[in-house]
Amino acid sequence: MYLCETYREACQLLHLMEDDAHWDSTLHDASISAHPQQIRMLFAVILSTCMPSNPLELWNKYKHNIAEDILIRTRHHARNPDLLITLEMYNEALIIIEYMCLRIANKTLVQLGMTAPNRDMHDLFDRELQREQEFNSNDLRLFVQSNIT
């Protein structure tokens, strides 16, 4: 015997409710042909209006597609095409999605069954990125040339 934490979970286990297969399929199709901004908007609409049964599972499955443009922008700003996606980039995508959900349904991600984005992390990441971009590349090049044999 299994004791469910919520009534919703019990209904899902008994197959009395729809699962997220159609939302999974929708996000899968979008991830093939849509831009990450469009996928974020679709995800926000699904969260805000369709009440998926397991939004965190959908997020974890498609978060790379949702945040891909943030990775590309960061690679461009850092002039490093080898950068990998980070938790900060996923967090930025969650912040954008939360703004969308607030506009659509006046609900935060926590109210919609998701984890709250870490806004402190986002602000720290922006400051760190700005600091990294403020160096003088000519001074750095001279320093490297004079100190590395």
Q: Note the pLDDT of residue 134.
A: 65
Among 15-19, 26-30, 82-86, the least confident range = 15-19
Q: What is the DSSP string of the chain?
A: ----SSHHHHHHHTT-S--SHHHHHHHHHHHHHS-HHHHHHHHHHIIIII--S-HHHHHHHHHHHHHHHHHHHHHHHHT-TTPPP-HHHHHHHHHHHHHHHHHHHS--TGGGTSPPP-HHHHHHHHHHHHHHHTS-HHHHHHHHHHH--
Q: Note the pLDDT of residue 123.
A: 57
Q: Note the pLDDT of residue 85.
A: 95
User: Does 65 or 120 have the greater pLDDT score?
Assistant: 65
Domain residue limits, the chain: 31-147
